[in-house]
Amino acid sequence: MIYLDYSATTPVNLDVLDSLVKVTNTYIGNPNSMHSLGVKSRALLRSATRQIAEVLNIKEQEIIYTSGATESNNTAILGVALRYKRLGNHIILSKLEHPSEYVLADYLESLGFRISYVNNDTDGLVDLEDLKELITKDTILVSIVGVNSEVGVRQPLKTIRQIIKKENPNTLFHSDLTQALGKVSINLNDVDLASFSGHKIFGPKGIGLLYKNEKVDIVPLIHGSSKDFPYRAGTPPLPLIVALSKAIRLCTMDLDKKEIYVKKLQEKIISDISHYPEIMINNTKYSIPHIINISLMNIKPESFVHAMEDHEVYISTNTACSSGELSTSVMAIYGNKRRAMTTIRISLASTTTLDEVNKFLTFFHGEYQRFIRLKK
How far is residue 294's CA from residue 286's CA, in Å, rounded to a whole number? 15
Please give the average per-residue pLDDT across 241-266, as a whole number.
Answer: 98
Examine the pLDDT at 163 and tell me if it is beyond 80: yes
Distance separating the N- and C-terminal Cα atoms of the chain: 31
Please give the average per-residue pLDDT across 258-287, as a whole number.
Answer: 96
How far is residue 58's CA from residue 149's CA, in Å, rounded to a whole number? 25
Examine the pLDDT at 7 and tell me if it is beyond 90: yes
Please give the average per-residue pLDDT across 58-71, as a whole number.
Answer: 97
How far is residue 342's CA from residue 200's CA, in Å, rounded to a whole number? 24
Amino acid at 259: E
Examine the pLDDT at 320 and tell me if it is beyond 70: no
Please give the average per-residue pLDDT across 248-269, as a whole number.
Answer: 98
From the centroid of its chain, how far is CA 60?
Answer: 22
Examine the pLDDT at 39 and tell me if it is beyond 60: yes
Examine the pLDDT at 65 and tell me if it is beyond 70: yes
Examine the pLDDT at 346 and tell me if it is beyond 60: yes
For all residues of the chain together, what is the average pLDDT? 95
Domains of the chain, residue spans: 2-9+254-375, 14-251
The crossing angle, in degrees rounded to 10, of helices 238-251 and 36-56 is 30
Element (H, E) at 313: strand 313-314
Give the model's confidence band at 180: pLDDT under 50 very low, under 70 low, under 90 confident, else very high: very high
**Sheet order of strands, 63-66 included:** 63-66, 208-212, 193-197, 172-176, 139-143, 90-94, 114-118
Please give the average per-residue pLDDT across 346-360, as a whole number.
Answer: 98
The pLDDT of residue 122: 94
Contact 229, 200 (CB under 8 A): no
Give the model's confidence band at 337: pLDDT under 50 very low, under 70 low, under 90 confident, else very high: very high
How far is residue 13's CA from residue 19's CA, in Å, rounded to a whole number? 10
Please give the average per-residue pLDDT across 208-231, as a whole number.
Answer: 90
Range picked from 223-227, 256-260, 298-302 for highest mean pLDDT: 256-260
Q: Lowest-pLDDT range, 73-82, 131-140, 228-237? A: 228-237
Contact 347, 7 (CB under 8 A): yes
Task: Express each pLDDT in 193-217 by its tens digit.
Answer: 999 999 999 999 999 999 999 999 9
Give the model's confidence band at 225: pLDDT under 50 very low, under 70 low, under 90 confident, else very high: confident
Contact 353, 359 (CB under 8 A): no
Please give the average per-residue pLDDT across 296-306, as a whole number.
Answer: 94
322 vs 113, higher pLDDT:
113
Please give the average per-residue pLDDT across 352-363, as a whole number.
Answer: 98
Q: In this structure, which topology does domain 2-9+254-375 adopt according to CATH?
A: Aspartate Aminotransferase, domain 1 (3.90.1150)
From the centroid of its chain, how far is CA 185?
Answer: 14
The pLDDT of residue 298: 87
Q: Which residues contact 255 (CB under 8 A, 6 or more apart)?
A: 182, 183, 184, 185
Give the model's confidence band at 319: pLDDT under 50 very low, under 70 low, under 90 confident, else very high: low
Element (H, E) at 34: none
Closest CA to 316 of 1, 5, 3, 2: 5
Give the model's confidence band at 28: pLDDT under 50 very low, under 70 low, under 90 confident, else very high: very high
As annotated, the active-site residues are 321
CATH (one of 2.40.110.10, 3.40.640.10, 3.40.718.10, 3.20.20.70) for 14-251: 3.40.640.10
